Amino acid sequence: MNIDRSKSLFEEAKKYIPGGVNSPVRAFKSVGGNPLFIKRGEGSKMIDVDGNEYIDYIGSWGPHLFGHNPQFIKDALLKAIDDGTSFGAPTAIEIEMAKLLTELIPSMKMVRMVNSGTEATMSAVRVARGYTGREKFIKFEGCYHGHADCFLIKAGSGALTLGVPTSPGVTRGNAADTLLADYNNIDSVKKLVYANKDEIAAIIIEPVAGNMGVMKVKNSFIKELRDICDEEGIVLIFDEVMTGFRVSRGGAQEIVNIKPDLSTFGKIIGGGLPVGAFGGKKEIMEQIAPVGPVYQAGTLSGNPLAMAAGYAALKYIYENPSFYDDLEEKADYLESGFRNNLSKLGKMFWINRVGSMSCMFFTEKEVIDFNSAVKSDTVLYGKYFHEMLNQGIYLAPAQFEAMFISTAHTKADLDKTIEAHYNSIKNIQ
Ligand SMILES: *Cc1c(COP(=O)(O)O)cnc(C)c1O
């Protein structure tokens, strides 16, 4: 495979952009090698600047539920652009978008649009703090909620000691207000809640985690979490930036059958453009300016192009109820193919899958939380990644990321991927 142009672009990019990329995981640091510069995408495929074609299982890290550049989203964008790109004044499509979102997600009675998932989660925590008059919140080790300061905290040593920043530039003050619990472990939550009685504004969680590999919350755990929040007056936030409209029509909250107080969205709801949203109970959302005192704003929020693309995506889902059955069938086919390969090769690597998002961990032990996920052999993942890439399969360049499939993936794509998977696992033994 010739990637000369990608190599020279990467050298050039590094002179002007830190690390040559505008988001760190794109640099291939955890798997080694040279990142590919992409020229175009169509359906299930991406083509790099050297003309190599790949079956893409990243889908821009989640948004491309219908594959790259679907005609109906392109049409919606072209139509919107005729009227202009931004007005900084209300437009009718923002109402349509809010109506459709609240209809698809019944726990969400009011919603505000923002420009990224990070903005959505950051704002959700702020409004929860404003609503409760409390300052601390709980997040789970291994869950990702974007890069706002308050989320870049990991557990310190010992269950009740303070968290520590995961990045320079994040203050100890932030670390003091962010408490860390263990995914799927209700006792770790209870300890924090009772040790910080009447001080916790919110608990935020990915109900299907997608940023420490893929894993689902246990039913009993999420139910107890809901109960604790009700008893203690804590705002329960589901971060559905990745899972919203990915794992089902009603998001992960439909699958786990629990209603959060607030939800956050992003990725799919932008149809490939930069969009986020947060929303939930009316009494909480009405704390936000200009109705209430909690400040939140955005020059380009509700941008007409982003709304056109996002609305087209959601409307397609709304009008095609069998959509997720088709996706599930494809995802199941791929998973079965992988499992078959693994049993033929005597390597029972752990696979978690929820709908069209999945992850094969390079460990043979059960993966249910951060601690079990990090048992994976990341060096072996790097080898697997490059074997797959050389056979034209583009996977996430890091072990703890999801593999996404879209409706554009064909049976031929999946068969080719299953064959490449067999070869790759065989070659890296
Ligand atoms: C991607 C993601 C975010 C951050 O969204 P950005 O648009 O990258 O800011 C937040 N939460 C979850 C669960 C995500 O997957």
Q: Exposed, middle or buried, 412 (CB in 10 Å: 0-12/13-18/19+)?
A: exposed
What is the CATH architecture assignment of 4-69+323-427? Answer: Alpha-Beta Complex (3.90)
pTM: 0.97
Q: Is the CB of 357 under 6 A from ligand 1?
A: no
Distance from residue 422's CA to the centre of ligand 1 (Å) = 32
Q: Is the CB of 144 under 6 A from ligand 1?
A: yes
Tokens of 330: 């494809």
Q: What is the pLDDT along the chain (429 residues), one digit of tens a residue?
A: 899 999 999 999 999 999 999 999 999 999 999 999 999 999 999 999 999 999 999 999 999 999 999 999 999 999 999 999 999 999 999 999 999 999 999 999 999 999 999 999 999 999 999 999 999 999 999 999 999 999 999 987 765 567 899 999 999 999 999 999 999 999 999 999 999 999 999 999 999 999 999 999 999 999 999 999 999 999 999 999 999 999 999 999 999 999 999 999 999 999 999 999 999 999 999 999 999 999 999 999 999 999 999 999 999 999 998 999 999 999 999 999 999 999 999 999 999 999 999 999 999 999 999 999 999 999 999 999 999 999 999 999 999 999 999 999 999 999 999 999 999 999 997
Closest ligand 1 atom number to CA of residue 276: 7
Segments making up each domain of the chain, as ranges:
4-69+323-427, 71-319
Closest ligand 1 atom number to CA of residue 117: 5
Closest ligand 1 atom number to CA of residue 240: 13
Q: According to the 3-state scheme, what is the secondary structure of the chain?
A: CCCHHHHHHHHHHHHHCHHHCCCHHHHCCCCCCCCCCEEEEEECEEEECCCCEEEECCCCCCCCCCCECCHHHHHHHHHHHCCCCCCCCCCHHHHHHHHHHHHHCCCCCEEEEECCHHHHHHHHHHHHHHHHCCCEEEEECCCCCCCCHHHCEECCCCCCCCCEECCCCCCHHHHHHEEEECCCCHHHHHHHHHHCCCCEEEEEECCEECCCCCEECCHHHHHHHHHHHHHHCCEEEEECCCCECCCECCHHHHHHCCCCCEEEECHHHHCCCCCEEEEECHHHHCCECCCCCECCCCCCCCCHHHHHHHHHHHHHHHHCCCHHHHHHHHHHHHHHHHHHHHHHHCCCCEEEEECCEEEEECCCCCCCCHHHHCCCCHHHHHHHHHHHHHCCEECCCCCCCCEECCCCCCHHHHHHHHHHHHHHHHHHC
Distance from residue 266's CA to the centre of ligand 1 (Å) = 7
What is the CATH architecture assignment of 71-319? Answer: 3-Layer(aba) Sandwich (3.40)
Distance from residue 137's CA to the centre of ligand 1 (Å) = 18
* Closest protein CA for atom 15 of ligand 1: 242
Task: Kindly list the catalytic residues.
Answer: 144, 239, 267
Distance from residue 242's CA to the centre of ligand 1 (Å) = 7
Q: Is the CB of 145 under 6 A from ligand 1?
A: yes
Distance from residue 236's CA to the centre of ligand 1 (Å) = 18
Q: Is the CB of 118 under 6 A from ligand 1?
A: yes
Q: Is the CB of 251 under 6 A from ligand 1?
A: no
* Closest protein CA for atom 11 of ligand 1: 145
